[in-house]
Amino acid sequence: MITRTSESASRIIALLNSESAAGGDALLDPERFRAFCSALEIDQAELKVDETLLAIMRDLRAAVSACLKEPSPKSLQALENISAKAQLVLRVDDEGMPMLSSASIGSASIPALFVLAIAASAGDGGWSRIRVCDAPECSKAFFDTTRSRTRRWCSMSTCGNRAKVSEHRQRQGERKVQKKGS
């Protein structure tokens, strides 16, 4: 049983939750995006944030979310299109270890970091444990650490509790209708 979120899965979850970040959507303006990158310890030395980068990141977030909620050929193609822009290449380090890295430099390499995180999380089993909350009013992503991989809500104390109370009330209402019809 996986009991903790891998670094790659954490990065993907942060991207998915960036829309509801404190202070507003982290992918809307350069300052918020810089704060988002800082929180994820992404090197900002050559970070030039422009609308093109923010649009790519918003598209990536939407594609990842769609792939997790309901994988379809369309959502998978969107993710593939964005990953093609990441310009990933296979490099060999000084010790002879092959690794994927981005051929892009500066800000253009930021989307590649997230594409690499997706690949890494698929390899370490994290991708299949990233979920989006089932509550209709919530879209928060979380990491499912349950053995059965059946967790449905980001938090049992909020979204899960609301859903269970709502289901209970619905059953109570159905029972009242059945009693009246008898």
Q: CA angle, corner 22, sides to 18 and 25, nearest 5?
A: 40
pLDDT tens, position by position, for the chain (182 residues)?
455 678 899 999 999 999 987 778 999 999 999 999 999 998 777 778 899 999 999 999 999 999 998 889 998 999 999 888 888 888 898 999 988 888 877 777 899 999 999 999 998 889 999 999 988 888 899 999 988 888 988 888 888 787 788 777 878 777 766 777 66
pLDDT of residue 58: 95
Check residue 182 and give its pLDDT: 61
pLDDT for position 2: 53
* Degrees, nearest 5: CA angle 4-15-102: 95
- From the CB of residue 104, how many other CB atoms can be counted at a distance below 10 Å? 16
Q: What is the pLDDT of residue 15?
A: 96
Q: Which positions ≥6 away from 126 have C-beta within 8 Å?
A: 2, 5, 6, 8, 9, 12, 120, 143
What's the pTM value of the predicted model, to 2 decimals?
Answer: 0.81
Q: What is the pLDDT of residue 71?
A: 87
Q: How far apart are CA 35 and CA 88, in angstroms?
A: 25
The identity of residue 14, as a single letter, is A
Q: State the pLDDT at residue 118.
A: 93
> What is the CATH topology of the domain spanning 7-151?
Jann2411-like fold (1.10.3300)
Write phi, then psi, for 121 (nearest 5 degrees).
-70, -30
| DSSP string across 110-168 | HHHHHHHHHHHHHHHT-GGGEEE---TT---EEE---TTS----S-IIIIIHHHHHHHH
Per-residue confidence (pLDDT) for residue 3, from 0 to 100: 55
Quote the pLDDT of residue 101. 81
The residue extents of the domains of the chain are 7-151, 155-182
